Amino acid sequence: MPAMSAPVAFSSSSAAFFAGAKTALMSVFMLVLAGTYIGIGALTHDFGLSSWWLAISTVLVWAAPAQVILITTVTTGAALFEIALAVTLSAVRLFPMVVALMPVLRGPTTRLRDLLLPTHFTAVSMWVESLRLLPSIEHQWRIPFCNGMSAGYMATAAVFGFVGFYLAAGLPPLLAGGLLFLTPMSFLMSTARNARMMLDKLGLVLGLLIGPLLTILDVNLDLMWTGLVGGTLAYLVHRIREATT
Amino acid sequence: MNTLLMELWPYFLMVLVGYLPNEVWRVFGLVLARGLNEDSQVVVWSRAVATAILAGVIAKLVLFSTGALAAIPLSVRVIAAVFGFLVFLGARRSVFAGVLAGEIALLAGGFLFAH
């Protein structure tokens, strides 16, 4: 990390936007998203929804876990309230992500409406890369850079959703299973890659352990509790370590 | 008219039980983040909570799979995930190498042991 070097600056907002888009297309998340959305495209085909439905849900929902839940429940006659509840629980993580991201994006002259687009764009890939890259960029260029990067990711996801949809039409079940495995694997490793601080590593490990445990115990709102318990424990350990060093 | 309604129904559901219940958390985050500083304790804590929730989703996708992935035995899925992660660590944290290794292990195991 160029912690001490001068912050990166751009000549205009559009230059920052295109630099962001270029960063997205050259980052490892490009492959991760391609893999994830090929898997989701396959799932969409499996459940009898259309490829355009998937593309629009990628733009509107823009969260792979919520989209997976939606795709697998919406055609199976599940109660609408149940679907909405599952989607909203999977989306709870977006709340702390936005809370953590906004102070990085916001400068002294930022208006609320400038933050609306980055808020909608907030998702795992964009969040991880924003926290990594934005601190080295001058404050006034962070929002256009972030929007360009997010637009690049979203376009990649939408395109590969179509690819997966039409691949699934011709793939045997084992390979289709392999496509679905791309989502957890890419999420796991991209999160681990970004976990430099003990706080992040501990949050990851605790979530991996507590999540399934609560599911087995059939606890209501299990994802919410996974986050609150695992995240708070990781935070407390982080505070204690800081206080003692 | 009726056919048009039938065709638009999945899109209506997408907005009603997909977009809205998902987006509401982003909007809450935006509203509540006003005035917070990037190294304030609430923000640090929020990051840990977000990471733990995401980890929970990952574990559930592997352990309690649905669709075509559920046809591959649980033990194969777990071993493939662990193997992929070890390769990721060994290959200087290359996400690409790790995902590829995990996929190869899953497909090999699935080919041998799928029910």
Q: Which residues contact B18 (CB under 8 A, 6 or more apart)?
A: A57, A60, A61, A66, A67, A70, A74, A83, A87
pLDDT of the residue at B1: 57
Q: Out of B23, B71, B85, whose CB is closest to A173?
A: B71
pLDDT-based confidence at A138, cuts 50/70/90? very high
Residue scoring higher pLDDT (A25 or A3): A25
Instruction: Identify all chain B residues contacting A202, using CB atoms and an 8 Å cutoff.
Output: 48
The minimum CA-CA distance between B54 and chain A, rounded to whole Å, is 7
Task: Quote the CA–CA distance of A172 and B104 in Å, as a whole number.
Answer: 16
Is the ipTM higher than 0.85? The answer is no
Residue scoring higher pLDDT (B115 or A39): A39
DSSP H/E element including B27: helix B20-33
Query: Which chain A residue shows the shortest CA-CA distance from B105?
Result: A178
pLDDT of the residue at A107: 86
Task: Quote the CA–CA distance of A115 and A14 in Å, as a whole number.
Answer: 16
Cα Rg of chain A (Å, integer): 19
pLDDT of the residue at A2: 44
The DSSP bridge partners found for residue A8 are: A137
pLDDT of the residue at B113: 85
- Convert the pLDDT of each residue in B38-94 to its tens digit: 677 887 887 788 788 889 888 988 998 877 788 899 999 999 999 999 999 999 999
- Convert the pLDDT of each residue in A161-202 to its tens digit: 999 999 887 778 888 888 888 878 988 988 898 787 889 899
Instruction: Identify all chain A residues contacting B24, using CB atoms and an 8 Å cutoff.
Output: 88, 91
Alpha carbon separation from A172 to A239, B101, B108 (Å, rounded): 50, 20, 14
Instruction: Identify all chain B residues contacting A87, using CB atoms and an 8 Å cutoff.
Output: 17-18, 21-22
Residue scoring higher pLDDT (A37 or B34): A37
CA B28 from chain center: how many Å? 21
- Count A/B contacts: CB-CB distance under 8 Å: 329
* Mean pLDDT on A46-73: 91
Task: Quote the CA–CA distance of B9 and A74 in Å, as a whole number.
Answer: 10
